[in-house]
Amino acid sequence: MGLRGKKIVLAASNSESSEYEQKAWSQMLLATLPARYTKTFNVNWPRPNEVGPDGQAKYVPHGLRIVESLLLQKFSADDIAVCYPEQLDRFIGDETRVVGIHAHNPLGITFATDVYPYFYGKDVEPINAAEFRKVIRHPALRRHKPHLKLIVGGPGSWQLERKNLLDEWEVDCLVDGEGEDVVLPLFEGAVRGEPLPRKVEGKSPSLDRIPPIHHRSTYGVVEITRGCGRGCQFCSVALRGGKSIPLPQILHNVRAQVAEGTDTILLTTEDLFLYEQGPKFRTNVPALKRLFESVAAVPGVKHINLTHGTMAPFLANPELLDELSELVVGKSSSQHEESTHPDKRYAIMFIGLETVSPRLFNQYMKGKAYPFRPEQWPDVVLKGMELQNKYNWFPICTFILGLPGETEEDTKQSLDLLFALKDSKWVVVPTLFVPLEDTRLGVKESATIYSLTDLQWEFFFTCWRYNLDFWRRERATQWKFNIGIPIYYYLMGQKIFGSKLKYPLFRLAHFPEWFLRRRLYLDFSGRMQPRWQAPDHVPIPEYRLRPMIPEVSGSTREQAQLQVF
Ligand code: B12
Ligand code: SF4
């Protein structure tokens, strides 16, 4: 390509494009581990992403593939290159007029990622942030900047504005939100050399505006729904009504990816159970079954993995696990010795539990429990976990610490539930509240790791103690970890976070319970009984079973669903 370059160049960072360890949850590590200490932690990073014979990327985040498809509606494939930073030299040249960069979590300042790097000091940056800088400050981009426009978009693009980096990084236009209705006019304007607005808000497009993709996405992401509509106040997609991608388009996207070398598909959604949903979030089990059967039947598909889901549908639809588990568990690429499946497979899905305090739940996220009532949330969680584990679904659950107004009593309630879930088969990830742009809690203060209370620290490390006990495979080296923790505390942790960290951290190191018992809220010695137990049955309130909203479709249905709350 050399000096001329391509008219339009689309790029994503290596860490956000990587199919690291072939496990989607592993890529999250790249957003949380500090770039400086990757060698210390033996994280096999960086790994080269695969490049095609023409130098273009083999896989990039799905959102960038959608942008590419939108551009292909007006531009020829010859005008566009999609690449990783190493190939920018090859594609950015004198004829390049616009570079579009995807940002999933470019500075690592969103949920979960905002916490972990701080354990290594105040000035560390996660791998993701270091890798994003390599794209956006690439010498080829800076050299050719006078004759090209730089557009940044993606779910984490807001972070650049939050950190005031738009000028320093010479970003001409920031796209916040969905791209379907804004990408083409912006790129066309940029190609014509017209000035661009500094920021554009992308609104929810109509279903027919979401284009099928042409090439492979990282982890074989295939979107099956967009939006949610359950209305949680901290969530950036809360008010976007749920819509389902038509099955023929889903299958086209699966085939496009398999044709380019993947055998694993990640069915992507805010909530699996919103796929082809009925009124009032009613789960459409037959449609889900059809979806899994059809994707599994595409030649070349070996594994199907899942992204997000919610707890309530497992209880509201008793037939769901019976109907779906054979395919969902059988096609999963994950295996664990505790699974009762013949191949030791388990299905994995991200589920946001966020809090157990009925007060906070009612205030910020009551839609999550629907059709159950907020007061039933602890029962929904306990019973939902029991049912899932029985069928070899081992969810990854998140909690949010430091929601605005959280009191000691609220944290105790979450700790009580955590205790009741002690022997579950799951991953539990504590995160800190981050006020995301465009959410109803967007104006509130972030929770910071430095202001965690004793109880919140206990919650934090109890989660990781559970994870360690359930997921650690090399038990023989556990003692090294147990010794390393107090050393870390006295050399570094105490100085960074103070003494509140001490006993919760020592529980992570398996210190004896006779030592910890009187210093912590939970007692693991066997003397304390859980305050909650999974009930036999969680009844759906009568009035919620009555049809309230007529069967509608499209945006009318979206509005109708929001009225449920
Ligand atoms: C699949 C997925 C993953 C996968 C794959 C990620 C990947 N790199 O491909 C995995 C599981 C690995 C993952 C990891 C993480 N993820 Co993620 N992920 C998703 C998920 C479920 C789908 C993403 C997707 O493909 N959506 C469909 C596409 C079409 O949407 P889109 O990417 O937003 O793209 C649209 C626009 O943003 C825009 N656009 C996108 N790119 C570009 C580029 C340009 C130039 C322009 C103009 C426009 C544009 O146009 C597109 C079409 O409308 C979303 C939730 C969701 N449903 O979107 C969360 C989500 C994006 N992830 C999120 C987070 C927090 C993470 C993690 C940081 C998790 C963590 N806490 O550790 C890590 C970071 C990993 C990393 N190394 O970067 C958050 C982002 C929150 C925020 N707003 O900052 C989301 C929104 C989930 C949530 N609700 O919290 N993730
Ligand atoms: S259920 Fe999940 S995706 Fe839906 S609004 Fe709540 S947090 Fe967001």
pLDDT in tens, 135-155: 999 999 999 999 999 999 999
Taken in order 431, 427, 327, 533, the sign of the CA dihedral is negative
Ligand 1 atom showing the smallest separation from residue 18 Cα:
8
Give, for ligand 2, the residue of 237, 243, 372, 564 to mutate: max count of ligand atoms closer than 8 Å to Cβ: 237
Question: Is the minimum distance from the CB of 105 to ligand 1 under 6 angstroms?
Answer: yes
Domain 216-381+535-565 maps to which CATH number in 3.10.300.10, 3.40.430.10, 3.20.20.370, 3.30.750.210?
3.30.750.210
Instruction: Give the pLDDT confidence score for residue 553 in this predicted structure.
Output: 41
Instruction: Give the pLDDT confidence score for residue 561 in this predicted structure.
Output: 47
Using a cut of 0.85, tell me whether the model's pTM lies above it: yes
The CA 175 to ligand 1 mean position distance, Å, reads 14
- Give me the residues of the chain with pLDDT under 70, please: 1-2, 31, 37-46, 110-123, 238-241, 437-438, 473-476, 543-565
Q: Please compute Rg for the chain using Cα positions.
A: 24
Question: Is the minimum distance from the CB of 175 to ligand 1 under 6 angstroms?
Answer: yes
Task: Quote the distance between the C-alpha of residue 312 and its chain's center.
Answer: 19
Instruction: Give the pLDDT confidence score for residue 552 in this predicted structure.
Output: 38
Question: Is the minimum distance from the CB of 16 to ligand 1 under 6 angstroms?
Answer: yes
Q: What angle do CA 195, 197, 198 make, to 5 degrees?
A: 115
Question: Is the minimum distance from the CB of 439 to ligand 1 under 6 angstroms?
Answer: no
Domain spans of the chain, in order of start: 8-208, 216-381+535-565, 395-522
The CA 104 to ligand 1 mean position distance, Å, reads 5
The CA 268 to ligand 1 mean position distance, Å, reads 10
Query: How many H helices and E strands in the chain?
Result: 22, 15
3-state secondary structure of 203: coil
Instruction: Give the closest residue (by CA) to ligand 1 atom 61.
Output: 155
Taken in order 328, 331, 334, 335, the sign of the CA dihedral is positive
Tokens of 29: 């590590």
Hey, which bits of 123-258 come out as E strands?
149-153, 173-177, 199-202, 221-223, 225-226, 243-244
Q: Which residues line ligand 2 (CB under 6 A)?
A: 228, 230-232, 235, 237-238, 270-271, 310, 352, 365, 368
Instruction: Give the closest residue (by CA) to ligand 1 atom 62.
Output: 104
The CA 409 to ligand 1 mean position distance, Å, reads 34
Question: Residue 520: which of 407, 419, 384, 424 has the closest Cα?
Answer: 419
Do 353 and 291 form a contact (C-beta atoms < 8 A)? no
Burial class of residue 3 in the structure, from the number of CB atoms within 10 Å of its CB (0-12 exposed, 13-18 middle, 19+ buried):
exposed
Hey, which bits of 470-561 come out as E strands?
none
Q: Note the helical H segments in 218-344.
A: 247-259, 285-296, 312-316, 319-330
